[in-house]
Structure 1
Amino acid sequence: MTWTVSSCFVTLAVLFLWRVEEIAEACSCSPAHPQQAFCNADVVIRAKIVGKEEIDVGNNIYGNPIKQIKYDVKQIKMYKGPSQDIDAIYTASTSAVCGVTLETAQEYLITGRMETDGKMHVTLCQFIEPWDTLSETQKKSLTQRYAMGCECRITRCTSIPCMITSPAECLWTDWVIEKTVNGEQAKHFACIKRSDDSCAWYRGAAPPKKDFLDIEDP
C-alpha cells in the first residue's frame, strides 16, 4: 500500500509540474477592439500569403536552435506603416509562444510591429483576420475612422457593473452582452474623438462629420 500511495504522489507531482510548464508556455493575450489593434500597431496591411518557410534565427541558452516562420506576402494595401512595401512577415514557430498560423493564397488584414531590423513581426495577440470575414464598417474604418479615435481609450467591460472614468473613454460591452469580443461594437463601431475632446461610439457607412457630437446611424 505504501508503494502505491508514493507512486500516486509521484505521478500527481509529475502531472502538476507538466501542467504548470504547459501553462507557463501557453500564449496569453488580452482581447483588444479592432480599433485598439489598429492604433497600437506599427504596421497595418491587407496582404495575400504567397509562401511559407521555417527559418533558424539563432540558438537559445541551451544551444538549441530557435525557429521562426517566415510568410512571404503580396501587399495589397498599406493602411499604416513605413513607406516601403512589406514583402514578408515573421512569427514564432508554435502557438504556445504566440506564433500565428496563416493559410497560403488567403488574403488577410494583418496588424503587427516593426522591429529594429526592419522586419514585420506578428503574434496571436495582434488583430489578424481573413479579409473576407471583416465587416464593411471595419474595412472602411481602416482608411480614416479608426485613426480619428487613437487618442481615445476603449475600456473593455468584463462584468456588470462597469463604467468609464473619463470622458475620453468608450465602454466596450460586447463580452457582457454577447459573450464574445467579436460582437456589434467590434464589427460596426469606432470610438471617435469629438469636437469637445470627449469620445463616443460612432456607427455609420460614411466618415464621421467634422463636428461630430452625437452617435448617429446611417
Structure 2
Amino acid sequence: MKILIFNFLILLLIEQQINFIKACSCRNTTVKDIYCPSNWAAHTLILKREEIKEGAVWEWKLRYTAKFLKVFKGKEEDCEYTKNNIYYLFTYANDGLCGVNLKNNTEYLNFGVYYPNGERNIGLCGYNNEWNAVPEEIKKDLNNGALDDYCKLKTTNIPKI
C-alpha cells in the first residue's frame, strides 16, 4: 500500500512539473518595448480562425485569416496592404505555448514576427489588443512615427562593449 501511495505522489509531482513546463511566461514590458523587436505591426480585422492539427499536439497551430486595415511596420508587401490586404497570422493552438485566441469579426492591433518560412506569427508576449481598447496615445504614436523614433533612439543609445 505504501508503494502505491508513493507512486501516486510521484505521478502527481511529475504532472505538476509538466504543467509548469508548458506555461507561457513573458517579461513585463511597455508597448514601446514590445513594438521595437517586432517585425511587423498592423491594425487588423480577423475574418476566420482555423485549427491546423499537424504533428504532435503541442505543434498544432491556429491560422487566422486577417485583413490588414493599416500597416505601421513591416515588409514592403505588408505596407502595400491596399493591393492585397488578406494575410494569414499563425500562433500556437496551446496558450501554454503562448498561443493567442482572437475573435472573428473583431479589429485588433497586432505586433508580430516573421518566421523563416515567411509566416506572420503572433504570440502572447506580443501585442494583440482589441483595437477599441488600444489607448489613443498609442494610436497617435503609431500614426506619427513616434514609436519608430523611440526604437531608433533605443538602439543608438546601447553602450558598446
Give yes or no for TM over 0.5.
yes
SS in 2 for 1:40: coil
Distance in 2 (CA, whole Å) between partners of 1:14 and 1:127 is 37
- Tell whether the 8 Å contact from 2:41 to 2:110 is kept in structure 1 after alignment: yes
| C-alpha distance in structure 2 between counterparts of 1:115 and 1:15, whole Å | 37
What is the CA RMSD across the aligned residues, in angstroms? 1.9
1:20 aligns with 2:14: no
- CA contact 2:59–2:92 (8 Å) conserved in 1: no
So what's the TM-score if we normalise by structure 2?
Answer: 0.84
Overall identity of the aligned pairs, in %: 24
- 2:43 match: 46
Alpha-carbon distance change, 135 to 65 in structure 1, aligned in 2, over 3 angstroms: closer
Structure with higher Rg: it is 1
**Residue 7 of structure 1: aligned partner:** 4
Report the 3-state secondary structure (helix = DSSP H, G, I; strand = E; otherwise coil) of the residue aligned with 1:13: helix
| Corresponding position of 1:145 | 146
Higher RCO (C-alpha 8 Å, min separation 6) = 2
Where does the alignment leave 5 or more consecutive residues of structure 1 unmatched?
A: 154-167, 170-218
What's the CA shift for 1:6?
Answer: 3.2
In structure 1, distance between residues paired with 2:99 and 2:59: 13
1:135 to partner: Cα distance:
1.2
> Which structure carries more helix by proportion?
2
Q: Secondary structure at the match of 1:141?
A: helix
Partner residue in 1 for 2:28 = 31
Counterpart amino acid of 2:147? Y
Which residue does the alignment assign to 2:107? Answer: 107
Q: Count the aligned residue pairs.
A: 148
SS at match of 2:91: strand
Letter paired with 2:27: S
Letter in 1 for 2:90: Y
In the other structure, the counterpart of 1:121 is: 121
Per the normalisation by structure 1, the TM-score is: 0.63
CA contact (8 A) 1:68 1:93 kept: yes
Return the alpha-carbon distance in structure 1 between the equivalents of residues 31 and 18 of structure 2. Answer: 31
Assess if the C-alpha contact under 8 Å between 1:56 and 1:65 holds in 2.
no
Specify the alignment match of 2:88 in structure 1: 88
Unaligned runs of 5+ in 2: none
Q: Distance in 1 between matches of 2:48 and 2:27?
A: 29
3-state SS of 2:76 partner: coil
8 Å CA contact retained: 2:60, 2:94 = no
User: Which residue of the partner structure matches residue 158 of structure 1?
Assistant: none
CA deviation vs aligned residue, 1:23-67 (integer Å, no higher than 9, x gap):
01111111221001111100000000001111245x35xxx7932
Q: Give the secondary structure class of the aligned counterpart of 1:46.
A: strand
